[in-house]
Amino acid sequence: MSKKHQFEKLRDRVKMSRIGEARIVRVKDVKGICPPNYEKTDSRPLISPKIMDVKNFVMVYNEVEEHGGVKTHEHTAEHGYFIIKGKMLLCIGKEEKEVGAGTAIYIPSGVPHSFRAIGEGKLRLIMIYSPPDRNKK
């Protein structure tokens, strides 16, 4: 499936409710995909300009199988990860570090990075980035 096709139907993959002007999205109500450049990853966008009227950030829930993750890349957005469960081998440039549940990670824009799940069981994490990449399909 092409990257464009994966993301153009994003609104159709998310079921959400409202309370006043707020939106409520449950992980189980979002159909996941494995994005380009990722392996063995179920990625579920929870908050995004592609699915609701948010302008300044994106929040994604990821479940990553052992040895899965994202290949080295860099982009203009700064972002963070929060590890809910499991462990990852985080690579920033040429440095590596094992990090686990309860850890928050900040990655500035323009910094090459990657990660892969290590240990037993799935790696579960929240990714937030800002500004949203408006050119992503």
CB 71 within 8 A of CB 37: yes
Mean of pLDDT values over 1-11: 49
Enumerate the domain spans of the chain: 3-130
Element (H, E) at 3: helix 3-8
Say which amino acid occupies 20: G
Query: Could you report the per-residue pLDDT of 116-129, keeping only the tens digit for each?
Result: 999 999 999 999 99
Q: What is the pLDDT of residue 71?
A: 96
Q: Which CATH number fits domain 3-130: 3.60.150.10, 3.30.420.10, 2.60.120.10, 3.40.630.30?
A: 2.60.120.10
Query: Could you report the per-residue pLDDT of 33-82, keeping only the tens digit for each?
Result: 999 999 999 999 999 998 888 999 999 999 999 999 999 999 899 999 99
